[in-house]
Amino acid sequence: MRQLKAGGCQVIPDAPEEDYPLDALVINTCGFIHDAREESVNYILDALQAKEEGRLGEVLVMGCLSERYKKELEKEMPGVDAFFGVTDIPLVAAHLGVSYDPALATERVLSTPAHYAYLKLSEGCDRSCAYCAIPLIRGPHRSRPMNELLAEAGHLAGQGVRELILVAQDTSFYGLDLTGKRELASLMEGLCRIDGIERIRVLYTYPQGFPLDVLRLMAREPKICQYVDIPLQHISDKVLTAMRRNTTKAETLRLIEDFRTFVPGLCLRTTLMVGHPGEDEQAFLELLDFVKEARFERMGAFTYSREAGTYGAQHLKDQVPAKVKRERYGRLMELQKGISFAYNQSRVGSVCSVLADYLVIPDSGTVKPTVLGRTQYEAPEVDGFVILEDAAHIRPGSFVKACITKADEYDLYAQLID
């Protein structure tokens, strides 16, 4: 988007249908699992419909889905003007008449609200989880040089970004391919020194070899959110082995103990998978017991889907019927509901620093405007909001002090403190 803008294009980061007519729509697709692919395909079909009705010029498709299934998509969707892979940004720019300028590589046009941004640390993944197609699509892990990331973060701070959210396929692997050492903590320390950046949050870590120096830093550095997102997928040794996760139940329990010891009050988010081949009822009950014990402050779950080309799809026979997968998903989420509710309730009465994200002005004049914000314990998009009442004067992007007054299982409600 930054390249196109520099080349004289007017760029709209997110284009809902009412924004057509556009000269061109670039659709960035996901090819991770069945549901994501379906969402991408439906979006392309809607765009092609708009093109046919004359409400849209060119339709360009890029990202994981078109990297992996380019030939098939070209055949099935002849109305798409061009397909590009995940690293084809210069080609997309050229197609739109803009020549790519490497000097702008660390500059960004944000698709998030102006005060927070995702910072991508690396591309690809060296793991070989049995269910996952990402290494097939994105290739091996390549860390971005630290000076490039610090430069990009500096630009973002200059644009008004106050919270950085670190992402990658595996953030805890950062640096290993550059220096032979895990460098996530050093990178975070460098980011803390950037003026204007007030919060740094890390998502998508991996349990095996988790760098404990990140926890030490988190405990002492106020800019680092006391929040870790660590998709654990399962706890049964039998299932972890089938998943090729390269870790065990004992190691996982030890790591959770470390998290709780190093950073008391830490908000731990995990993602689990149900219905992986080989997950029998006993293994699933083990997972339920684990969730009851570990009491993750936040948890999400997926059902296993067979992804073409993965080890699981090619070699694992012991498939779980779709109905059982759905039923296990329901039982797991029901259990977590109570845990999340209890966690949110335990925060009632606490005073916290809230970053205001959005001002919501309701259609009806009888309902008061509210501000939706987040503390260090809420990540955007995946966690709930802190809903600030009587705060219509607060500008999105500012930090305010508030006291939590009530809570449900997703959201918290708070009053401003002067």
Q: Which residues bind ligand SF4 (CB under 6 A)?
A: 125, 127, 129, 132, 134-135, 169-170, 206
Pick 299 or 356: Cβ nearer ligand SF4: 299
Pick 135 or 380: Cβ nearer ligand SF4: 135
* CA 41/CA 83 separation, integer angstroms: 13
Pick 129 or 320: Cβ nearer ligand SF4: 129
Please, what is the minimum distance in Å from the beta carbon of residue 135 to ligand SF4? 5
Pick 3 or 233: Cβ nearer ligand SF4: 233
Please, what is the minimum distance in Å from the beta carbon of residue 231 to ligand SF4? 7
Pick 28 or 208: Cβ nearer ligand SF4: 208
Please, what is the minimum distance in Å from the beta carbon of residue 173 to ligand SF4? 8
Pick 107 or 170: Cβ nearer ligand SF4: 170
Please, what is the minimum distance in Å from the beta carbon of residue 246 to ligand SF4? 9
Please, what is the minimum distance in Å from the beta carbon of residue 274 to ligand SF4? 15
Pick 177 or 389: Cβ nearer ligand SF4: 177
Please, what is the minimum distance in Å from the beta carbon of residue 273 to ligand SF4? 9
Pick 60 or 274: Cβ nearer ligand SF4: 274
Please, what is the minimum distance in Å from the beta carbon of residue 329 to ligand SF4? 18
